[in-house]
Structure 1
């Protein structure tokens, strides 16, 4: 939480705002770390209003350059807006403008790194563009958001769009069939980097990856990739440059065998730990993630990223990291940012207080959907467990709302809609099972039994003897 050595406030007014915002930030940190209760709107909104009130007192700029804080005041404002943004996601208010700040901050960091390393795929840019469109819509629709704050968010989104456009322009220079070759090389390069950061670095795995890279290199004719008609597509210089980087990186990885010098081991271990935690959350986020916790991960990653001098890390004696260490650390940082981005985007517009119910319903819906795809159930009895669980959840509602304690958490509409979907699926299975049982009771076999009983009543013993399983010994 320490404020870095940035430009201090220049006026007494700014200093007062800095002091007040620091106090608000400390309250937000205590609020998000309190695990004894759920985050509630009535706890978050007043602190948000206080933050906006203080920001509105500033006469000049907020202390941001290209989306990054450059002053002490800008740094604290950034911290407050980030925590508030994650808190809005935690309480289920995803569709309000304040929730947009944290995703745009992560996207900006990702774009800086993509431009710096010049290694990205079309899929990366598509995901970012789609997210930016959604964030822009959220800001536009939130008419209650104060104008200065909505303008700040709009500028950040536009800054992201400009950066994405610059990156897309480079990929657009690739003519067929080079885009596919480029994507394969990007995937192989990242896989080699991941292999270097496993607990036990496998030389055989890296060797196999190098062979795949060499196989792509062998597809060239006279050092160039050619189209089916024999023409030389534009963009060969870009793909060939990437190919050489892949070959050099795989060769260097085989030489170093995962060796990280002790002077950079603390940074490496810290990044690996963060990466592993985020990776686990990406699997269990629906049940284990409190979005506000991502603030601590982001701050750790930012701090390590900002330790670089001219793009590289230096040891205590001022010696820069060699190429292998530099690339490994940069890979880990970018991977961490990638995980935080995916976790924020995966956040559902449901308060954490309602998440247990919401997740149970999501699981039930998946089960019911799979049962339906598999052909449904054979008997009505098989539907009972689903119906009982749905009824128990439905009985939790009071006047149609889910109430936790004395609060009505955000996300009532999403949970109710999911509950109704589950009831519809359950009713469909039940009706199909009842129809199947009715059809079975009217089967031809049953009709023959009735006819046999009639024959017995009329004294036709031969008809009775023709019916198997009657228990009557005709010739006794």
Structure 2
């Protein structure tokens, strides 16, 4: 396993035993992640988590003694790997609402916010989503004050504070954007991203990109004397922000149409690797409920981290140190950002249910969607039509022992979520049956 990033700060000899133990723990976490023969058990994860926390405590003591609380070396690299894996394991076992689960999300949001700042274009909705995620994580940390190590909580609070500072700076950049100009600005953001997505298709869609460019020309044609006007013909605030983005969109569309999806050969291996990562994550986002084990995201995160950190002063360079041209630079950065965005979406949409219960949970979600659709379409003409749903619900209900879904002698996490969903499905089925019977009655 490769550390990311690589740090060369000299290591204090007293930290070597800590590094050795963390490396051993990371190996155990990695082996546990790869084991597909059974589901991940909570106790296995908690034991490894406690081992990592113990090493954090020892590390803090050593660094406080030497007055080096902000030291960064290989120990910190491996520690980050351990926390990243443990965080994803907490999601896998369904303990999404506990403090350790926050770690991986802070890493991903930090990456996304850094990239938004670098790209210098984003919509208010992007920032709103990040803000809501940070607020949710703050609540999780508050809830965990009595049950988790203060060392971990302090680390997570610092990571959240860093994300909030980045978010505040990004919000400030859009502070001058008026409400009247916001719809136009958001449309420009959407078009720019759509052009970038088309630019990375296996077969370049010239007509589609030309269509986006035509939309940009239409937006440009609405300007009067180089300014966007509101409906009452006034000049709303935020002209520079919107105009700069429009010009950027037009320039990018020209470059993309000229290159026709052909990237500089020097950067093609990196491009193909990023396309592969993006495509795998996109597929996971579609089949997530049935195929995702959250710990699988770790390998994608680390691959992206290494590519992202290989840049020199923000630029991709070839083996001779020559910088990538604008087309290659923006194309590679788009793929990195899109991949991080998929990881973000996969993490926040993770259900608080152990993977052991996911098959049942997913079946119930499907049943719920079907029953809601039947209800929306006017119900059923006869209670007999509900027979397949009733049979399936009762077969799932019969799996419970004393009200719990068991796997062997284990009681996996997520019992509340699964039982709540089962009860909701029974209620929907009952409402539909009563309605059908009322319609069938002689009085009606």
Confirm whether residue 71 of structure 1 aligns to residue 57 of structure 2. no
What residue is the counterpart of 1:278 in the other structure? 281
The residue number in structure 1 matching 2:24 is 23
Q: 1:223 aligns with which of 199, 221, 226?
A: 226
1:261 shift after superposition: 2.0
1:121-171 Cα distance to aligned partner (Å, 9 max, x none):
111001111111111101110120111111111111121111111111111
Give TM-score, length-normalised by structure 1.
Answer: 0.89
Match status 1:80 vs 2:82: yes
Q: Is the 8 A contact 2:405 2:415 kept in 1?
A: yes
Instruction: Give 1:383-398 correspondences, 5 Å limit.
Output: 383-398=386-401
Is residue 335 of structure 2 the alignment partner of residue 305 of structure 1? no
Q: Does the aligned pair in 2 maintain the 1:21–1:51 contact within 8 Å? A: yes
Q: Which runs of 5+ in 2 are unaligned?
A: none
Tell me what 1:421 maps to: 424
Structure 1: state its 5+ residue gaps.
444-476
Partners of 2:302 and 2:178 in 1: CA distance: 40
Of 330-339 and 258-267, more deviation after overlay is shown by 258-267
Contact 1:203/1:254 (8 A) holds in 2: yes
Match of 1:97 in 2: 99
> Which of the pair has the greater relative contact order for Cα pairs under 8 Å at 6+ separation?
2
2:320 counterpart residue number: 317
1:460 matched residue in structure 2: none
Kept in 1, the 8 Å contact 2:6–2:77? The answer is: no
Equivalent-residue separation in structure 1 for 2:205 and 2:420 (angstroms): 48
CA distance 1:38–1:81, shift in 2 (3 Å): same
Q: Give the 5 Å matches for 1:46-445.
A: 46-58=47-59, 59=61, 60=63, 70-142=72-144, 143-439=146-442
Q: Distance in 2 between matches of 1:64 and 1:264?
A: 39
Q: Secondary structure at the match of 2:227?
A: coil
Name the count of aligned residue pairs: 438
- Report the alpha carbon displacement of residue 8 of structure 1 after superposing the two structures with TM: 4.2
Partners of 2:353 and 2:300 in 1: how far apart?
A: 22
User: Could you tell me how far apart the structure 1 residues matched to 2:6 and 2:130 are?
Assistant: 32
In 2, Cα distance between equivalents of 1:395 and 1:382: 22
Is the contact made by 2:123 and 2:186 (CA closer than 8 Å) also made in structure 1? yes
Residues 217, 403 of structure 1: alpha-carbon distance in 2 compared, 3 angstrom cutoff? same
CA shift at 1:7, angstroms? Answer: 2.8
Name the CA distance, whole Å, in 2 between partners of 1:315 and 1:188. 30
Q: Is the 8 A contact 1:28 1:47 kept in 2?
A: yes
Answer yes or no: is the 8 Å Cα contact 2:278–2:339 preserved in 1: yes
Indicate if the aligned counterparts of 2:11 and 2:73 stay in contact, CA closer than 8 A. no
Deviation at 1:341?
A: 0.1
Report the Cα distance in structure 2 between the residues aligned to 1:385 and 1:282, rounded to whole angstroms.
29
Give the aligned partner of residue 7 of structure 1. 8
Q: Tell me: CA distance 1:73–1:64, structure 2 relative to 1, closer, same or farther (3 Å).
A: farther
Report deviation, 1:424. Answer: 0.8
- Counterpart-to-counterpart distance in 2, 1:204 and 1:432: 52
Q: How many Å apart are 1:436 and its aligned residue? A: 2.2
How large is the Cα RMSD of the aligned pairs?
1.6
Cα distance in 1 for residues equivalent to 2:72 and 2:347? 25
Post-superposition Cα deviations, 1:71-126, rounded to whole Å, max 9, x if no partner, equal 21111111000000000000000011000000010000000111111111111001
In 2, Cα distance between equivalents of 1:6 and 1:223: 49
